[in-house]
Amino acid sequence: MNNHSIVFFDIDGTLLNEKKQLPKSTKEAVFKLKEKGHNVAIATGRAPFMFRSLRKELEINTYVSYNGQYVVLNGELLFTNPLNPSAVERITELAFQNNHPVVYMDHNDMKANVMEHSFIRESIMTLKIDRYPTLDADYYKGRELYQMLLFCVEGEEKQYEEAFPEFDFIRWHPLAVDVLPKGGSKAIGIRKITEKLGFPEERQYAFGDGPNDIEMLSQIYNSVAMGNAEEETKSVAKYVTKSVENDGIEYGLKMVGLL
Protein backbone atom coordinates (compact mmCIF):
# COMPACT_ATOMS: atom_id res chain seq x y z
CA MET A 1 0.00 0.00 0.00
CA ASN A 2 3.09 2.22 0.27
CA ASN A 3 2.22 5.70 1.53
CA HIS A 4 -1.23 5.83 0.00
CA SER A 5 -4.20 6.94 2.10
CA ILE A 6 -7.97 6.77 1.93
CA VAL A 7 -10.06 9.93 2.04
CA PHE A 8 -13.80 10.07 2.77
CA PHE A 9 -15.85 13.08 1.70
CA ASP A 10 -19.31 14.10 2.86
CA ILE A 11 -21.45 15.53 0.06
CA ASP A 12 -23.74 18.38 1.10
CA GLY A 13 -21.74 21.34 2.38
CA THR A 14 -18.49 19.51 1.72
CA LEU A 15 -18.20 18.39 -1.91
CA LEU A 16 -21.25 20.42 -2.93
CA ASN A 17 -22.01 24.02 -2.04
CA GLU A 18 -25.35 25.43 -0.88
CA LYS A 19 -26.62 25.45 -4.46
CA LYS A 20 -25.73 21.73 -4.72
CA GLN A 21 -22.96 22.56 -7.19
CA LEU A 22 -19.52 20.93 -7.37
CA PRO A 23 -16.81 23.62 -7.37
CA LYS A 24 -14.21 23.28 -10.14
CA SER A 25 -11.37 23.28 -7.63
CA THR A 26 -12.99 20.42 -5.71
CA LYS A 27 -13.32 18.23 -8.80
CA GLU A 28 -9.72 18.89 -9.80
CA ALA A 29 -8.49 18.15 -6.27
CA VAL A 30 -10.30 14.80 -6.18
CA PHE A 31 -8.72 13.70 -9.45
CA LYS A 32 -5.27 14.86 -8.30
CA LEU A 33 -5.72 12.73 -5.19
CA LYS A 34 -6.44 9.68 -7.31
CA GLU A 35 -3.53 10.42 -9.63
CA LYS A 36 -1.27 10.27 -6.59
CA GLY A 37 -2.62 6.78 -5.84
CA HIS A 38 -4.89 7.65 -2.92
CA ASN A 39 -8.27 5.98 -2.46
CA VAL A 40 -11.23 8.36 -2.61
CA ALA A 41 -14.65 7.53 -1.13
CA ILE A 42 -17.90 9.24 -0.24
CA ALA A 43 -19.56 9.17 3.21
CA THR A 44 -23.04 10.67 3.12
CA GLY A 45 -26.50 10.57 4.60
CA ARG A 46 -27.94 10.43 1.09
CA ALA A 47 -29.36 7.34 -0.57
CA PRO A 48 -27.21 5.78 -3.33
CA PHE A 49 -29.65 6.89 -6.04
CA MET A 50 -29.38 10.48 -4.83
CA PHE A 51 -25.72 10.86 -5.79
CA ARG A 52 -25.33 8.51 -8.74
CA SER A 53 -24.43 11.36 -11.12
CA LEU A 54 -21.86 12.75 -8.68
CA ARG A 55 -20.20 9.33 -8.39
CA LYS A 56 -20.05 9.15 -12.15
CA GLU A 57 -18.61 12.65 -12.50
CA LEU A 58 -15.90 12.02 -9.89
CA GLU A 59 -15.39 8.35 -10.89
CA ILE A 60 -15.89 7.14 -7.31
CA ASN A 61 -17.07 3.56 -6.74
CA THR A 62 -16.64 3.29 -2.97
CA TYR A 63 -19.14 4.90 -0.64
CA VAL A 64 -20.89 4.90 2.70
CA SER A 65 -24.53 5.92 2.22
CA TYR A 66 -27.55 6.35 4.48
CA ASN A 67 -25.16 7.43 7.27
CA GLY A 68 -23.54 3.99 7.34
CA GLN A 69 -26.44 1.68 6.60
CA TYR A 70 -25.45 0.78 3.02
CA VAL A 71 -21.75 0.44 2.20
CA VAL A 72 -20.21 -0.30 -1.22
CA LEU A 73 -16.53 -1.04 -1.90
CA ASN A 74 -15.26 -0.76 -5.47
CA GLY A 75 -18.78 -1.20 -6.83
CA GLU A 76 -19.57 -4.27 -4.71
CA LEU A 77 -21.93 -4.34 -1.73
CA LEU A 78 -19.88 -4.73 1.47
CA PHE A 79 -22.26 -4.09 4.40
CA THR A 80 -25.92 -3.34 5.13
CA ASN A 81 -27.80 -2.45 8.29
CA PRO A 82 -31.52 -2.41 7.44
CA LEU A 83 -34.40 -1.11 9.52
CA ASN A 84 -36.24 -3.61 11.72
CA PRO A 85 -39.20 -4.80 9.57
CA SER A 86 -41.74 -5.19 12.38
CA ALA A 87 -40.85 -1.76 13.77
CA VAL A 88 -41.28 -0.29 10.29
CA GLU A 89 -44.79 -1.72 10.15
CA ARG A 90 -45.64 -0.37 13.60
CA ILE A 91 -44.32 3.12 12.95
CA THR A 92 -46.24 3.17 9.67
CA GLU A 93 -49.46 2.46 11.59
CA LEU A 94 -48.78 5.17 14.18
CA ALA A 95 -47.86 7.72 11.53
CA PHE A 96 -51.06 6.92 9.63
CA GLN A 97 -53.10 7.48 12.79
CA ASN A 98 -51.39 10.86 13.26
CA ASN A 99 -51.81 11.86 9.60
CA HIS A 100 -48.03 12.01 9.25
CA PRO A 101 -46.93 10.78 5.81
CA VAL A 102 -43.86 8.56 5.48
CA VAL A 103 -41.44 7.70 2.68
CA TYR A 104 -39.73 4.29 2.48
CA MET A 105 -36.17 4.15 1.12
CA ASP A 106 -34.02 1.29 -0.08
CA HIS A 107 -30.89 1.39 -2.26
CA ASN A 108 -32.83 1.80 -5.50
CA ASP A 109 -35.77 4.08 -4.85
CA MET A 110 -38.08 5.88 -2.43
CA LYS A 111 -41.84 5.49 -2.19
CA ALA A 112 -44.48 7.41 -0.23
CA ASN A 113 -47.51 5.96 1.56
CA VAL A 114 -49.69 8.87 0.36
CA MET A 115 -50.39 10.24 -3.10
CA GLU A 116 -49.38 13.85 -2.44
CA HIS A 117 -48.56 15.98 0.61
CA SER A 118 -47.21 19.51 0.97
CA PHE A 119 -44.71 18.46 3.68
CA ILE A 120 -43.12 15.92 1.34
CA ARG A 121 -42.99 18.35 -1.56
CA GLU A 122 -41.55 21.27 0.45
CA SER A 123 -38.78 19.26 2.12
CA ILE A 124 -37.75 17.04 -0.82
CA MET A 125 -37.48 20.06 -3.13
CA THR A 126 -34.71 21.51 -0.93
CA LEU A 127 -32.49 18.52 -1.77
CA LYS A 128 -32.40 19.57 -5.45
CA ILE A 129 -32.35 15.97 -6.69
CA ASP A 130 -33.84 14.54 -9.88
CA ARG A 131 -36.04 12.08 -8.00
CA TYR A 132 -39.38 12.46 -6.22
CA PRO A 133 -41.13 9.75 -4.18
CA THR A 134 -44.07 8.18 -5.99
CA LEU A 135 -46.92 6.29 -4.35
CA ASP A 136 -46.50 2.72 -3.09
CA ALA A 137 -47.98 2.26 0.38
CA ASP A 138 -46.78 -1.36 0.48
CA TYR A 139 -43.18 -0.67 -0.54
CA TYR A 140 -41.91 -1.65 2.91
CA LYS A 141 -43.28 -5.19 2.62
CA GLY A 142 -40.79 -7.91 1.76
CA ARG A 143 -37.75 -5.73 1.13
CA GLU A 144 -34.89 -4.28 3.15
CA LEU A 145 -35.21 -0.58 3.93
CA TYR A 146 -32.28 1.50 5.12
CA GLN A 147 -34.11 4.69 5.99
CA MET A 148 -37.57 6.18 6.33
CA LEU A 149 -38.62 9.81 6.15
CA LEU A 150 -41.23 10.91 8.66
CA PHE A 151 -43.01 14.18 7.91
CA CYS A 152 -44.17 16.19 10.90
CA VAL A 153 -43.56 19.60 12.45
CA GLU A 154 -40.82 20.13 15.00
CA GLY A 155 -41.55 18.49 18.33
CA GLU A 156 -44.02 15.96 17.00
CA GLU A 157 -41.27 13.37 16.53
CA LYS A 158 -40.97 13.09 20.32
CA GLN A 159 -43.72 10.48 20.59
CA TYR A 160 -41.98 8.36 17.97
CA GLU A 161 -38.65 8.59 19.77
CA GLU A 162 -40.31 7.31 22.95
CA ALA A 163 -42.22 4.53 21.17
CA PHE A 164 -39.43 3.21 18.93
CA PRO A 165 -36.07 2.66 20.67
CA GLU A 166 -35.01 0.63 17.61
CA PHE A 167 -34.60 3.85 15.63
CA ASP A 168 -32.64 7.08 15.63
CA PHE A 169 -34.62 10.16 14.61
CA ILE A 170 -32.68 13.00 12.97
CA ARG A 171 -34.44 16.15 11.88
CA TRP A 172 -33.04 17.65 8.67
CA HIS A 173 -35.89 20.01 7.72
CA PRO A 174 -38.60 21.84 9.71
CA LEU A 175 -41.09 19.35 8.22
CA ALA A 176 -39.01 16.18 7.89
CA VAL A 177 -37.14 13.66 10.05
CA ASP A 178 -34.79 10.83 9.03
CA VAL A 179 -35.58 7.48 10.65
CA LEU A 180 -32.48 5.25 10.86
CA PRO A 181 -31.42 2.06 12.65
CA LYS A 182 -30.36 2.82 16.23
CA GLY A 183 -26.66 3.48 16.58
CA GLY A 184 -25.81 3.37 12.90
CA SER A 185 -23.29 5.94 11.73
CA LYS A 186 -20.88 6.95 9.00
CA ALA A 187 -18.03 5.96 11.32
CA ILE A 188 -19.21 2.34 11.44
CA GLY A 189 -19.58 2.20 7.66
CA ILE A 190 -16.12 3.70 7.18
CA ARG A 191 -14.62 1.14 9.53
CA LYS A 192 -16.01 -1.68 7.37
CA ILE A 193 -14.09 -0.27 4.40
CA THR A 194 -10.82 0.58 6.15
CA GLU A 195 -10.65 -2.82 7.85
CA LYS A 196 -11.32 -4.60 4.56
CA LEU A 197 -8.60 -2.61 2.79
CA GLY A 198 -6.20 -2.67 5.72
CA PHE A 199 -5.59 1.06 6.06
CA PRO A 200 -3.93 2.02 9.37
CA GLU A 201 -5.64 4.86 11.22
CA GLU A 202 -2.88 7.38 10.44
CA ARG A 203 -3.67 6.98 6.71
CA GLN A 204 -7.41 7.61 7.10
CA TYR A 205 -8.88 11.05 6.34
CA ALA A 206 -12.42 12.42 6.43
CA PHE A 207 -13.97 15.77 5.45
CA GLY A 208 -17.39 16.89 6.71
CA ASP A 209 -19.51 19.79 7.88
CA GLY A 210 -22.78 18.68 9.48
CA PRO A 211 -24.07 17.20 12.74
CA ASN A 212 -24.18 13.75 11.14
CA ASP A 213 -20.42 14.07 10.54
CA ILE A 214 -19.53 14.55 14.21
CA GLU A 215 -19.01 10.88 15.02
CA MET A 216 -17.04 10.36 11.81
CA LEU A 217 -14.78 13.34 12.46
CA SER A 218 -14.29 12.45 16.10
CA GLN A 219 -13.18 8.89 15.25
CA ILE A 220 -11.12 9.33 12.07
CA TYR A 221 -7.47 10.05 12.88
CA ASN A 222 -7.09 12.84 10.29
CA SER A 223 -10.42 14.64 10.41
CA VAL A 224 -11.11 17.91 8.60
CA ALA A 225 -14.12 20.14 9.21
CA MET A 226 -15.18 22.57 6.50
CA GLY A 227 -15.02 26.28 7.20
CA ASN A 228 -18.80 26.42 6.73
CA ALA A 229 -19.34 23.71 9.36
CA GLU A 230 -21.18 24.33 12.61
CA GLU A 231 -19.01 25.07 15.63
CA GLU A 232 -19.93 21.75 17.27
CA THR A 233 -18.63 19.92 14.21
CA LYS A 234 -15.45 22.00 14.04
CA SER A 235 -14.72 21.31 17.70
CA VAL A 236 -14.27 17.55 17.17
CA ALA A 237 -12.10 17.82 14.04
CA LYS A 238 -8.31 17.73 14.01
CA TYR A 239 -8.19 20.38 11.27
CA VAL A 240 -10.49 23.11 9.96
CA THR A 241 -10.23 24.15 6.33
CA LYS A 242 -11.87 26.95 4.35
CA SER A 243 -15.52 26.84 3.29
CA VAL A 244 -16.66 24.80 0.32
CA GLU A 245 -17.24 28.04 -1.58
CA ASN A 246 -13.63 29.13 -0.99
CA ASP A 247 -11.90 26.04 -2.37
CA GLY A 248 -12.04 24.36 1.02
CA ILE A 249 -11.42 20.82 -0.26
CA GLU A 250 -8.33 21.78 -2.24
CA TYR A 251 -7.03 23.92 0.64
CA GLY A 252 -7.68 21.19 3.21
CA LEU A 253 -5.97 18.46 1.19
CA LYS A 254 -2.89 20.66 0.84
CA MET A 255 -3.06 21.51 4.55
CA VAL A 256 -2.88 17.84 5.57
CA GLY A 257 -0.15 17.08 3.04
CA LEU A 258 -2.06 14.92 0.56
CA LEU A 259 -1.68 17.39 -2.34
What residues act catalytically? 10
Contacts of 68-74 spanning 24+ positions with Cβ under 8 A? 68/184, 68/185, 68/186, 68/187, 68/188, 68/189, 68/190, 69/146, 69/147, 69/180, 69/181, 69/184, 69/189, 70/107, 70/146, 70/189, 71/189, 71/192, 71/193, 72/48, 73/192, 73/193, 73/196, 73/197
For residues 177 and 237, give the distance between their C-alpha atoms in angstroms, rounded to a whole number.
26
172: Cβ contacts below 8 Å, ≥ 6 apart:
45, 123, 178
